[in-house]
Structure 1
């Protein structure tokens, strides 16, 4: 997909066992089922890294602990850790996370995507790009970029 890899030999970690709910939580006929941190993680764990044939979980770019959720306020924050400080794919990874959550979560959720503090050379610029609605919309209008995002997300829809 990408030539000239930034991190040609990333450390690959073992994947965790999946934890699926046994049955949905029913509150009453009008209530919305609450979403938890593990459910958000299940949505993003299989996103493929744009440079490698590994998932973001296998590269420890995202972990269960990197997800903050306030279901009452309909707020989700995913903090990801690029594999190298000068990762040129950080904005693509963040865009993949945002798109996956936009497609998976109810529209009531505000999604905040962040680079882990101190893990990327241009952390502030990446964070600004990933959380600017106009920039995200413009990025998704680019056919090549949208194709790259869809390739990274393909394994998450199996």
Structure 2
């Protein structure tokens, strides 16, 4: 049986390295740097992001247990209007951050990461209106080698 994407990546340390590298790439991007450098950002943003991605990829439910559910994450990112170009840039930063974090270069693994982030960005961008437009209760997504898993 194939390991989860979380296990294959290298567990918590790998996702923390990915989140840190992604954050740095977004700060360096001339278009993405604004949302990533505003003063209201949570002081443990990188750690929380790592926990979220780790949980989605098959890791322990640390994000859900300490930070909130999936709808809370969507509400946090809602209300920004049309950000379609930022979404593309976000995905590219994520893909390059996987190299920066020295995640496995296995093509199937990298394809799974990219497909997750493309799906996740599309989901976030589906809520350009106020946070109240996000429905309560969507389950935390689970991503595998074959994409989104049914709940």
TM-score (normalizing by structure 1) = 0.36
Q: Which has the higher strand share?
A: 1
Q: Between the two structures, name the one with larger relative contact order (CA 8 Å, sep ≥ 6).
A: 2
TM-score (normalizing by structure 2) = 0.37
